[in-house]
Amino acid sequence: MTQPNSTRPDLSRGRSYLAIPGPSVMPDRVLNAMHRAAPNIYAGDLTEMVAAMWPDLRAVAGTTQHVAAYIGNGHAAWEAANANLFSRGDLALVLATGRFGIGWAESARAMGVEVEVMDFGTRDPVDMARVEARLREDRAGRIKAVMTTHVDTSSSILTDIPALRAAMDAAGHPALLCVDCIASLGCDEYHMDAWGIDLTVAASQKGLMTPPGMSFLWFSEKARAAGVDADLRTPYWDWRKRSEPEEFWQYWAGTAPTHHLFGLREALAMLHEEGMARVWARHEVLARTVWAAFDAWGMGHPRIGLNVAEPKYRSRAVTAARLGAPDATRLRDWTEAQGGVTLGIGLGMALPSDPAWHGFLRVAHMGHVNAHMTLGALAVMEAGMCALDIPHGPGALDAAAKVIAAG
């Protein structure tokens, strides 16, 4: 065995913490559930388990309506949604508050949908008055769907979906309301049916605590009916058989994602044991813990700060922040190498070729995360700022601990 030639302690040893906004931390219960022999995909445990878990899958999205599952990541789910809703030349209105809203728009446009993007930038929430005015203008009802992110993971902006529903209703517009909840499902409060949403998109690897590789569409009866003639639909993406299979293979249009399903079964059980209201409350406290630390670090140091000014428009799943270039990259490198904590890169705030890119980072607090993980990540960040001589305000860890103490 080669001996390291330094006696400097390696403080990254121990269990690492991937605090990036997806994939998220996988619970041991999920990992253990996946550790088994290949199951029969025609009968037996797996087929019975899926039938029994689909109600729980609906419940996390707050719906009793249709659900279709895909073997694919979030990008796949975007395409699945586009394929089932639209025909070539249909008009979609996309409300973007960061990279992911733009991504869904690009995916729909590339498939032949006419896409109008209302871009609210990377720091401000959707302006509902502008949306309402645009919908009122559309007297012919050409806009078939309004599509947005619940949380745009790049900016960590939270869209007020009930306010969007109210704006659409005020305009008297019949468009479908379609929401990308890939980052937020199981983290930020969400009620698909109660909030009048027609389509919810999510993936397995964020709040659902399961490895990347599965994604889901929950859709209303109105969305199903609106998409009946969609000419972008192809057999693989077709949500009809997937949501109402006569045979087990039709859930997936082929072989089931066997081990993902065992993992997902356990993740859903964990969410339901905790209770969705308490899951959201936990994320709320952990998010506020992170915000409190950044507020303290930024005191007297305006280069450090949260991306989103108003708490109402901040995600409870992920926090985007600035630290000034190149200190965000220096800090991320340090926390990973010296503390075993991997923080998220800044996304969509500057081009990777721009030196300013090194001024942004994200801290995820999504999924299987608790007080010691969030406090630990913040403490390692503070240690890194000290080690790297990054000037910052005092009292961040004290402020963070007080949020946890208040619960």
Ligand X SMILES: *Cc1c(COP(=O)(O)O)cnc(C)c1O
Q: Which is nearer to ligand X, 74 or 384 (CB)?
A: 74
For 207: left if phi > 0, alpha if psi spans -120 to 50, otherwise beta; the answer is alpha
Task: With CB under 6 A as the rule, give the number of residues binding ligand X.
Answer: 13
Taking the C-alpha atoms of residue 306 and residue 298, their distance in angstroms, rounded to an integer, is 9
Among the listed residues 25, 61, 62, 74, the single contact to ligand X using CB under 6 A: 74
Strands 199-203 and 214-219: antiparallel
- Nearest distance from residue 201's CB to ligand X, in Å? 8
H or E segment at 203? Answer: strand 199-203
Q: Applying CB under 6 A, does 73 fall inside the site for ligand X?
A: yes
Q: Applying CB under 6 A, does 100 fall inside the site for ligand X?
A: yes
Q: Applying CB under 6 A, does 182 fall inside the site for ligand X?
A: yes
Q: Which of residues 132-171 bind ligand X (CB under 6 A)?
A: 149, 152-153
Taking the C-alpha atoms of residue 12 and residue 16, their distance in angstroms, rounded to an integer, is 7
Q: Applying CB under 6 A, does 26 fall inside the site for ligand X?
A: no
Q: Applying CB under 6 A, does 126 fall inside the site for ligand X?
A: no
Q: Which is nearer to ligand X, 182 or 396 (CB)?
A: 182
Residue given tokens 């995909």 in the structure block: 41
Among the listed residues 22, 339, 346, 348, the single contact to ligand X using CB under 6 A: 22
Q: Applying CB under 6 A, does 213 fall inside the site for ligand X?
A: no
Tokens at residue 247, please?
């045979």
Cis-peptide into 23, omega within 30 deg = yes
Q: Applying CB under 6 A, does 348 fall inside the site for ligand X?
A: no
Please check whether residue 270 is in contact with residue 209, taking contact to mean a CB–CB distance below 8 angstroms. Answer: yes
Among the listed residues 79, 90, 132, 180, the single contact to ligand X using CB under 6 A: 180
Phi, psi of 314 (to 5 degrees): -100, 140
Q: Applying CB under 6 A, does 203 fall inside the site for ligand X?
A: yes
- Nearest distance from residue 181's CB to ligand X, in Å? 7
Strands 176-180 and 199-203: parallel
Q: Applying CB under 6 A, does 75 fall inside the site for ligand X?
A: yes
- Nearest distance from residue 383's CB to ligand X, in Å? 28
Cis-peptide into 174, omega within 30 deg = no
Q: Applying CB under 6 A, does 319 fall inside the site for ligand X?
A: no
Phi, psi of 104 (to 5 degrees): -65, -40
- Nearest distance from residue 161's CB to ligand X, in Å? 13
Q: Inter-axis angle of helices 258-274 and 276-298, to 10 degrees? A: 80
Q: Which is nearer to ligand X, 213 or 298 (CB)?
A: 213
Query: From residue 183 to residue 202, what is the string marking binding to ligand X with x (rule CB under 6 A)?
Result: x-------------------
Burial of 194 (0-12, 13-18, 19+ CB in 10 A): exposed
Q: Which is nearer to ligand X, 214 or 377 (CB)?
A: 214
List contacts with ligand X (CB under 6 A): 22, 73-75, 100, 149, 152-153, 180, 182-183, 203, 212
